[in-house]
Amino acid sequence: MKKIIVFAVMVSALFLFTACSKGSGEKVYVYNWGEYIDPEVFELFEEETGIEVVDDYFESNEEMYPKIKAGAVQYDVVCPSDYMIQKMIDEDLLAEINFDNVPNLKNIDTSYLKSSETFDPGNKFSVPYCWGTLGILYNKTMVDEPIDSWSAIFDEKYSGNILMIDSVRDAFGITLSYLGYDMNTTNETELDEAKALLQEQYPLVQAYVVDQVRDKMIGEEAALGVIYSGEAIYTKRENENLEYVVPKEGSNVWIDAWVIPKNCRNKENAEAFINFICDGEIALKNFEYITYSTPNSIARDMIEDEDIKNSQVAFPPQEVLDRCTTFRYLGEDFEAMYNNKWNEVKTE
Amino acid sequence: MVKKFVERSYIALILIFLYAPIGILIVLSFNASKSRAKWGGFTFHWYQELFHNEAIMSALTTTLIIALSSAFIATVLGTAAAIAMNGMNKTPRTILMSITNIPMLNADIVTGISLMLVFVALKFTLGFTSVLLSHITFNIPYVILSVMPKLRQLNPHTFEAAQDLGASPLYAFFKVILPDIFPGVLSGFFLAFTMSLDDFVITHFTKGPEINTLSTKIYTEVRKGIKPEIYALSTIMFITVLLLLVLINRRGTEKKVPLRKV
Amino acid sequence: MNVLNKLTRHTENSERSLQNTHVNNVKWLSFPYIIWMSGFILVPLVLIIFYGLTNKENGFTFDNITLISDPINRQALFLALKLSLFSTAICLLLAYPLAIILNKTKMKSNSFIVLILILPMWMNFLLRTIAWQNILEKKGVINNILAFFHLPALNIINTPTAIILGMVYNFLPFMVLPIYNVLIKIDKDVVNAARDLGANNRQTFMKIIFPLSLPGVISGITMVFVPSLTTFVISTILGGSKIILIGNVIEQQFRLGNWHTGSGLSLVLMIFILFSMAILSKYDKESEGSNLW
């Protein structure tokens, strides 16, 4: 008996010691979407710079924002979407990036920098990471007509076979564009109409998901799922019955970009990280892992698989982009209005 | 005879209910397909991958470090407290026992949130230490409740006698009291260890970005699909404990689990 | 998870004779614990009350508390209450006969039974729940078996039924163990005496065994009811975010950074639990008086 306790004391002490002694070096705290970067990229970064990466994940912009704002955890690099970056700039939460430390910015296609100006005028605070559209992923064997409209996800025929996106702006955005309204509307009557439609949709929905849509569509749990275009290549690789479409009514085009919060721990490390990500070969490696469209022109040129390089899903043609809109930050009051209406939808 | 058959079948059904999901997880650890929803053939691949997966291995280490050290510290604090409380008058003791009862009766989510509020209010960075402190906190009651009954059975005169014979209180404690209450201390330790290992909610609210325990690691993976390495690791852990239990049972050592008391 | 030790509550709370008064000089041993518990149990509770009763500008308000009457929150609370009552009842119905049978089998080692019931805990709680997703899904294990026999498919994933199942599965051992622990302690002579006095099986059960097992039943109810009422993990994994329970609401409030609202709702939940416990303990004659709740 005594031996056991002596052993337990020794083991605990040893563990405590190793736990405390580790981690004195340089670190960079990265706050990113789940499964949105190749873990090997972190390893390569650590090898090259000696800076250790501490990674943490969020599932929605709305979940990320309060953490940065509260500052209980200080992150160095964060990857929000367009409208959220606009909000964070408005609220003075972001630091201006010193682009002398990010020479690889030249690899980013200028057209993306230009579209970034809609939420980050002058490109002072952000560096584009990935972009894409929002659309419907459907299983060819489970639908009996070609899907080209948002009407499918409101169709009773597919009751129990629909995976709806569990993200307030996305859910309202697609409903509004189906109804022919602006995705950034601040008109309450239009919003109420969208809410009513979403409430009608509730009984038809199998589950409200964001990241889980991937696994469920691969497993053929549902016929239709609302999904980001970046998941389309991956899911098709795993199950070739799946097809991605941007509905004809129009949809959302988004850009996720790296930003540095004002309360970061180490700005230079953050910039070194952003610079590393913008390296052509790293961006290519990363693209092959996450399959989200890259704004990095060097990386895109280096893609070997011709099908992917010319993929209409990963790099949609202009005519598709023409019918897509970017979300804008609508201010605190409208944000609250959207949130309340979304909660009402989900508690039928 | 029929009655016996019905009874046996009932036990069997409940056991199937309890163990079927575990069987499924074990099967998944041998699934060649990365997707949970598809069977892609039999493989040992994930077991090899497991040891190269730094994120999972570090989550495992963190989990074990936290479980071991929180159980250990809770055992020391809890045993000391139990001994002291045993010697107290009724009123202070009832008050202390009631406070001890709070984390047990409260919802995990409330306990986790309230601890987080304290750490944030103290400007304490959420991370390894905050999780460890929280685990110690919810582990101490298990230890106290395991040690208390043993103390009640103790013959107080032996302690007195030892001191009369010239032993220092400390020496007397280690020679006289501790051996008698040791089964209770040990089971408190194991119970605390198991609870710490299985906790998700409290860790979820009190952890920072630097660390992941297995539970929180799994939670982040639930969304994009669990990595099969996790199934492999859980299978190894489960089988290890199963074998240990069978072994202990074979030896016939009646391990006193505090779940049944005199 | 921290429910397991509620199992022992009953034996703990029953007062025994105090024979150890002269170990008084070891009182100081409790100081570290008292300091610890004030810091990590009492202060956190005070903070949650503080946050719950203030707004973002630190002004006093009851708004966070009254928010429970908002239709969304009220519905989440009622649904949680409904599902947890169902799962508690099902657990009781399944556990009581099991405990009786286990008591009869006279296993050579009681701890073996306990271990068999606790062993699943070594497979992570989240993983066990995810496994149920695999079992219940449209293309899951059960439906594959049904399809093999050309039977109609079972569609219960993402419904309240799936959540109840998940609750029953995760918390059933916490109902079985306390009942079993009480049953094995019932003096066989009492039962035999009843028989000798002419009581039939039914009468023996109703008049002797059941009343004596009541403390275990109440312990079990507490230990199943509280975690079921407050869970957010089971409802997320098996409910497909379609079914929102009070635990989900509170977790979401904290996730979205509304700490004051979240604390206010937690406070309501806490009071609700205490209230239920108070009602329950009325039936719990054994530990009357010695139990805070």
Show me where the domains of chain A are located.
18-131+254-309, 132-252+316-346
Q: Which residue has the tokens 């022992």?
A: C8
> Could you say which residues from 37 to 76 on chain C have a Cβ atom under 8 Å away from some Cβ of chain B?
37, 39-45, 47-48, 51
Instruction: Write phi, then psi, for C58 (nearest 5 degrees).
Output: 65, 20
**Domain A18-131+254-309 matches domain A132-252+316-346 at the CATH topology level:** yes
3-state SS string for chain C: CCCHHHHHHHHHHCCCCCCCHHHHHHHHHHHHHHHHHHHHHHHHHHHHHHHHCECCCCCECCHHHHHHHCHHHHHHHHHHHHHHHHHHHHHHHHHHHHHHHHHHHCCCCHHHHHHHHHHHHHCCHHHHHHHHHHHHCCCCHHHHHHHHCCCCCCCCCCCHHHHHHHHHHHHHHHHHHHHHHHHCCCCHHHHHHHHHCCCCHHHHHHHHHHHHHHHHHHHHHHHHHHHHHHCCHHHHHHHCCCCCCHHHHHHHHHHCCCHHHHHHHHHHHHHHHHHHHHHHHCCCCCCCCCCCC
Scanning A22-109, the segments in alpha helix (DSSP H) are 39-49, 61-70, 82-90
What is the pLDDT at residue C110?
A: 67
Contact list, C130 vs chain B (CB under 8 Å) = 36, 222, 226
Q: Residue A32 forms beta bridges with which residues?
A: A57
pLDDT-derived band at B124 (thresholds 50, 70, 90) equals confident
Q: Residue A5 forms beta bridges with which residues?
A: none
- Closest among C179, C164, C271, C156 to C228, alpha carbons compared: C164
Helix (H) or strand (E) holding B219: helix B214-224
Q: Averaged over B38-49, what is the pLDDT?
A: 89
What are the tens digits of pLDDT across the range A230-261? 999 889 988 899 999 999 999 999 999 999 99
Contact list, B208 vs chain A (CB under 8 Å) = 73
Chain C closest-CA separation from residue A69 CA (Å): 9
Asked whether the predicted pLDDT for residue A99 surpasses 70, the reply is yes
Cβ contact A278:A160 at 8 Å: no
Q: If interface means Cβ-Cβ distance under 8 Å, which residues of chain A face chain B?
A: 1, 4, 8-9, 11-12, 15-16, 18-19, 23, 29, 31, 34-35, 39, 54-57, 59, 70, 72-73, 75, 210-212, 214-216, 218-221, 238-239
Asked whether the predicted pLDDT for residue C14 surpasses 70, the reply is no
Q: What angle do CA A195, A197, A203 make, to 5 degrees?
A: 105
What is the pLDDT at residue A143?
A: 94
Show me where the domains of chain C are located.
1-52, 67-289
Cβ contact A186:A142 at 8 Å: no
Token readout for A276 is 């590393």
Q: Which chains touch A (3 or more CB pairs under 8 A)?
A: B, C
**Helix, strand, or coil here: A89?**
helix
pLDDT-derived band at C12 (thresholds 50, 70, 90) equals very low
Single pTM value for the model? 0.88
What are the tens digits of pLDDT across the range B63-112? 999 999 999 999 999 999 998 888 888 888 888 888 888 887 788 999 99
Fold classified for A132-252+316-346: D-Maltodextrin-Binding Protein; domain 2 (3.40.190)
pLDDT-derived band at C117 (thresholds 50, 70, 90) equals confident
Chain A closest-CA separation from residue C50 CA (Å): 18
Neighbours of B92 (CB within 10 A): 14
Report how far residue B142's alpha carbon sits from residue A79's, in angstroms, rounded to the nearest whole number. 42
Report how far residue B192's alpha carbon sits from residue B74's, in angstroms, rounded to the nearest whole number. 8
Report how far residue B31's alpha carbon sits from residue B230's, in angstroms, rounded to the nearest whole number. 12
Across the interface, of B34, B209, B224, the residue whose CB is closest to A29 is B209
Contact list, C244 vs chain A (CB under 8 Å) = 346-347
Report how far residue A299's alpha carbon sits from residue B72's, in angstroms, rounded to the nearest whole number. 52
What is the pLDDT at residue C201?
A: 87
What is the pLDDT at residue B236?
A: 94
DSSP B176: I
Cβ contact A290:A132 at 8 Å: no
What is the chain C residue with the closest CA to B16?
C169
Cβ contact A248:A323 at 8 Å: yes
What is the pLDDT at residue B46?
A: 93
What is the pLDDT at residue C66?
A: 92
Report how far residue A38's alpha carbon sits from residue A204's, in angstroms, rounded to the nearest whole number. 35
E-assigned strand segments in chain A: 27-33, 52-58, 77-78, 94-95, 126-139, 162-165, 205-209, 224-228, 242-245, 251-261, 324-325
Cβ contact B11:C102 at 8 Å: yes
* Type of residue numbered B126: L
* CATH number assigned to the domain covering A18-131+254-309: 3.40.190.10
All domains in chain B, ordered by first residue? 51-225 (1.10.3720.10)
What are the tens digits of pLDDT across the range B99-120? 888 887 788 999 999 999 999 8
Bridge-based pairing of strands A242-245 and A224-228 is: unpaired
In CATH, which of 1.10.3720.10, 1.10.443.10, 3.50.50.60, 1.10.10.60 is domain C67-289? 1.10.3720.10
What is the pLDDT at residue B246?
A: 82
Longest dimension (CA), chain B: 73
Asked whether the predicted pLDDT for residue C16 surpasses 60, the reply is no
ipTM over 0.90: no
What is the pLDDT at residue C287?
A: 46
